[in-house]
Amino acid sequence: MTGGAGYIGSHALKPLESAGYDVIVYDNLSEGHQDAVIAGKLVVGDLADEKALDAVFKEHNITAVMHFASNCYVGESVSEPQKYFVNNLANTLNLLRVMLANDVKRFVFSSSCSVYGAPITLPIREDHPRAPVNPYGMSKHFVEQILAVYAKSYKLRYATLRYFNAAGASSVENIGEDHDPETHLIPIVLKAALNEGVTVKVYGDDYNTSDGTCIRDYVHVDDIISAHILSLDAIFEKDRSFTFNVGSGAGYTVKEVIKAAKEITRKNIDYEIMQRRPGDVDSLVASAAKIHKELGWEPKRLKLADIISTAWNWHKNNPAGFDDKEEGR
């Protein structure tokens, strides 16, 4: 697994262990946290370092790869596109090259709803045209296309999972979302609840939505992980490739997120309306019918309040994120 020290990858570790997989985490710890690696074996390394990566494949009997490592900020991808094309695209090609050289042909890829760009129809189905409007979405779209080619030429078997907005935290393990800097809405809102005087910046209230703020489909990180495990099992069993949306199918505006967070935290959360953020589109809501039909996937936490509650639990107990644990080292 790459990116196992990151937010989503770390949530996969225990469930994979319970499903009977031995996990090797390959992560450069550039954004992840050593303390998030709560199961499996951590190898600190960079995807740009093909030699180190190759050594991992030579040393272990690897049968499949889940590729979580990725930069994931839409706004940053507009100002620093090179970072996104190198880390998300070129480094994924390195990983695939090393995999194929070692005859490893099962791959679960963390893609994104941003491959669709501005949706023409809602909810978005997997066959909706892909027309990304920011370099982050482009980097994922390029990899998706390359995977389809490699499937034909090299018999790679992949599951492309197009996440909508990953949110929440484990309700069992003490792990959660801790990015530095944080740019994602729910952690920002919860940090504002923890720190009086911090004002949430709402990026635009002139979108074509019920209250003018952007609509997103928030899906619990544990549900994203169950989609991963079902997909991996399906690759093993059916020996074919899949592409699925992973979203809850419900959309909430930025203002609705803030309102729900106020109710859960019982804190005042101030916000101010700012300019639109470059790269944003007004609404992104998934149709998750395909993964439900083909793999029987169903999100366990559908209500926004349930999702935010698990995130609040993590932030409240770990106000400095993983630094709470790391500072004693």
CB of 304 to ligand UDP, least distance (A): 13
Output the six-digit token pair for 226. 């169950």
Nearest approach, Cβ of 148 to ligand UDP (angstroms)?
24
The nearer residue to ligand UDP, 79 or 183, going by C-beta atoms, is: 183
235/285 with CB nearer ligand UDP? 285
Residue number with CB closer to ligand UDP (163 or 242): 163
Min dist CB 308 to ligand UDP, Å, is 12
Distances (CA, A) of 191 to 25, 73, 303: 29, 18, 21
Closer Cβ to ligand UDP, 283 or 309, answer by number: 283
Contact residues toward ligand UDP (CB under 6 A) are 74, 165, 183-185, 188, 200-203, 214, 216, 254, 277, 280
Point out the residue whose Cβ comes nearest to ligand UDP: 214
Residue closer to ligand UDP (CB basis): 64 or 78 = 78
Minimum distance, C-beta of residue 240 to ligand UDP, in the bound complex (Å)? 29
Q: Among residues 105, 101, 125, which one has the least CA distance to residue 113?
A: 125
Q: Smallest gap, in angstroms, from Cβ of residue 73 to ligand UDP?
A: 7
Just list the catalytic residues: 136
Name which of 128 and 157 has its Cβ closer to ligand UDP.
128
Whether residue 308 contacts residue 314, with contact meaning beta carbons closer than 8 Å, is answered with: no
In angstroms, what is the minimal distance from the CB of 216 to ligand UDP? Answer: 5
Instruction: Output the 3-class SS for the chain.
Output: CECCCCHHHHHHHHHHHHCCCCCEEEECCCCCCHHHCCCCEEEECCCCCHHHHHHHHHHCCCCCEEECCCCCCHHHHHHCHHHHHHHHHHHHHHHHHHHHHCCCCEEEEEEEHHHHCCCCCCCECCCCCCCCCCHHHHHHHHHHHHHHHHHHHHCCEEEEEEECEEECCCCCCCCCCCCCCCCCHHHHHHHHHHCCCCEEEEECCCCCCCCCCCEECEEEHHHHHHHHHHHHHHHHHHCCCEEEEECCCCCEEHHHHHHHHHHHHCCCCEEEEECCCCCCCCECCECCHHHHHHHCCCCCCCCHHHHHHHHHHHHHHCCCCCHHHHCCC
Cα Rg of the chain (Å, integer): 19
